[in-house]
């Protein structure tokens, strides 16, 4: 039962329900719940991915820079002052803690921490300042590279589809017909449908083209398409 359902759904776009050719199924860059998308939904998906990941990448970058600065400055102050038993070492620890707090929201995105809990949460970060900062840095790097890969892939998808559409549209551009030319083509195809064009049919076509104001040169062009 489940198999037949999957089979009947595999041939249609998971987003818009348009039926897909075998090529479109194989070449679908994005899949929704393991189901392929049509070319235009793939383009939409790539644009959506870019809209989400580009601001995320910026956020991650700022987070990494802040963490690095606070870790290095705070860490140096802590190590130097700890060596000379100075109370300033707490400032070093505090700086690392503030760096960690600044990235906390970034690390636990999607987590909603209620008002009173957030103070306890920040206090824990301050207590384990360098540990949290290092973990936060690793997680930030991981999320940054994931977002970067996602953006690169989306750009490749968009580029690929842009090339495809120029390949598909270029011959079409030469195929543009006026309304009168379309009328001629309809008649020409009717005559062609039963095999060759007979002498009689050829005469009628020539007269028809004359009546429509289509030159013999243009007729030859249209018929050779």
Site residues (vs Zn ion, CB under 5 A): 13, 15-16, 18, 38, 41
Quick one: 35 or 143, whose CB is closer to Zn ion?
35
CB of 53 to Zn ion, least distance (A): 21
CB of 20 to Zn ion, least distance (A): 8
Q: Tell me which H or E stretch contains 11.
A: none
Q: Which two tokens stand for residue 199?
A: 């002498």
What number of H helices and E strands is found in the chain?
9, 2
CB of 42 to Zn ion, least distance (A): 8
For the four alpha carbons of 4, 5, 8 and 9, in that order, the dihedral sign comes to negative
CB of 30 to Zn ion, least distance (A): 10
Alpha carbon dihedral 136, 99, 93, 72, in 10-degree steps, equals 80
**Strand-strand pairing, 31-32 and 35-36:** antiparallel
Quick one: 65 or 164, whose CB is closer to Zn ion?
164
Quick one: 38 or 98, whose CB is closer to Zn ion?
38
Quick one: 26 or 116, whose CB is closer to Zn ion?
26
């Amino acid at each position: 039962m489940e198999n037949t359902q999957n089979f009947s759904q595999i041939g249609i776009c998971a987003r818009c329900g348009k039926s897909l050719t075998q090529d479109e199924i194989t070449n679908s860059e994005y899949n929704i719940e393991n189901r392929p998308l049509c070319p235009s939904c793939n383009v939409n998906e790539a644009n959506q991915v870019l809209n989400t990941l580009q601001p995320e990448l910026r956020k991650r970058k700022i987070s990494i820079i802040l963490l690095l600065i606070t870790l290095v400055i705070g860490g140096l102050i802590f190590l130097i002052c700890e060596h000379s038993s100075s109370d300033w070492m707490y400032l070093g620890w505090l700086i690392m803690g503030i760096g960690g707090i600044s990235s906390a929201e970034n690390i636990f995105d999607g987590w909603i921490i209620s008002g009173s809990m957030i103070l306890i949460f920040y206090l824990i970060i301050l207590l384990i300042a360098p540990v949290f900062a290092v973990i936060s840095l690793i997680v930030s790097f991981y999320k940054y590279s994931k977002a970067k890969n996602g953006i690169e892939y989306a750009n490749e998808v968009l580029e690929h589809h842009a090339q495809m559409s120029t390949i598909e549209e270029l011959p079409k551009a030469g195929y543009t017909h006026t309304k009168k030319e379309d009328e001629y083509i309809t008649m020409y195809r009717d005559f062609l449908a039963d095999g060759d064009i007979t002498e009689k049919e050829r005469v009628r076509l020539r007269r028809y083209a004359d009546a429509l104001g289509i030159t013999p040169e243009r007729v030859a062009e249209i018929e050779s398409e």
